[in-house]
Amino acid sequence: QKEVEQNSGPLSVPEGAIASLNCTYSDRVSQSFFWYRQYSGKSPELIMSIYSNGDKEDGRFTAQLNKASQYVSLLIRDSQPSDSATYLCAVTPRSDRGSTLGRLYFGRGTQLTVWP
Amino acid sequence: SAVISQKPSRDICQRGTSLTIQCQVDSQVTMMFWYRQQPGQSLTLIATANQGSEATYESGFVIDKFPISRPNLTFSTLTVSNMSPEDSSIYLCSVRGTSRQETQYFGPGTRLLVL
């Protein structure tokens, strides 16, 4: 399941800055991409999903997808201390393309700390 | 999104014993999955729980070690058999709806410590 790579960090940014999280994947035909946030001791919660090349914005979060480069990123604008968590990138594997299986393979996660 | 509950929330077990974890969803869902998250690691998919048929296991996971049941569209169990300390982990149930692009949501997890 080692198809998704993330810089494990830790990434540390000051409050109000932009945090940039990156993820690369090996399966060229992956179709669906997700960013989850996981607070310590909690289960992952979905932040963003993206399926097409380009940018997708939701509040302070922007997901960027470049399928040619097999690269997906998450930008967090105006970072807050409450954003401090581990961010997990997940992709749907090749074998599930065109099916309803919808399995997800996760990267190791990037630990983000936003300091006041 | 669906509301997912898991039982037990945590347990401490002796090596060689087995533990069954339950996952209950408040609505019918097509797909249910079981993941493992070992300390400091990311999530690893164990298997897809299929309603009315045998689960589909990922490479490295076998039915004898992780038997799974799914008797209906709202409930599934995962058993961790003949446990060893290496099985100490968080076990998470997740669900997905019927749309191709519908995303997965996770239960609160079961924290397992094997002594």
Burial class (CB in 10 A: 0-12, 13-18, 19+), A87: buried
Q: Six-digit token pair at B80? A: 């961790």
- Contact (CB<8Å) B48/A101: yes
Q: What is the DSSP string of chain A?
A: ---EEE----EEEETTSPEEEEEEES-TT---EEEEEE-TTS--EEEEEE-SSEEEEETTEEEEEETTTTEEEEEESS--GGG-EEEEEEE--GGGTTSS----EE---EEEEEE-
Q: Which residues of B touch A (CB under 8 A)?
A: 30-31, 33, 41-45, 48, 58-59, 92, 94, 96, 98, 100-109
pLDDT at residue A70 greater than cutoff 80 = yes
The region that residue A60 occupies, defined by phi over 0 for left and psi between -120 and 50 for alpha, beta otherwise, is: alpha
pLDDT at residue A95 greater than cutoff 70 = no
Strand positions, DSSP E, chain B: 4-7, 10-13, 19-25, 31-37, 43-49, 56-57, 68-72, 75-80, 89-96, 104-106, 110-114
Greater pLDDT, A98 or B90:
B90
Task: Tell me the CB-side half-sphere exposure of residue B90, using CA atoms within 13 A.
Answer: 19
pLDDT at residue A96 greater than cutoff 80 = no
Burial class (CB in 10 A: 0-12, 13-18, 19+), A116: exposed
φ, ψ (nearest 5 deg) of residue A81: -55, -30
- Mean of the pLDDT values across residues A99-111? 80
Least confident piece of the model among A52-61, A71-80, A87-96? A87-96
Three-state DSSP state, B51: coil
Enter the DSSP assignment of B86.
G
Task: Tell me the CB-side half-sphere exposure of residue B107, using CA atoms within 13 A.
Answer: 30
pLDDT in the model for residue A109: 93
From first to last of its 115 residues, what are the pLDDT tens digits of chain B?
A: 778 999 999 999 999 999 999 999 998 888 899 999 998 888 999 999 988 888 999 989 999 999 999 999 999 999 999 999 999 999 999 998 666 556 788 999 999 999 9
User: What are the pLDDT digits (tens) for A19-52?
Assistant: 999 999 887 677 788 999 999 989 999 999 998 8
Give the pairing type, strands B4-7 and B10-13. Answer: unpaired
Query: Which residue in A32, A43, A102 is closest to B92 by CB distance?
Result: A43
Greater pLDDT, A86 or A96:
A86
- Contact (CB<8Å) A44/B106: yes
Strand partners, B46: none
pLDDT in the model for residue A92: 82
- Residues of chain B neighbouring A49 (CB-CB closer than 8 A): 101, 103
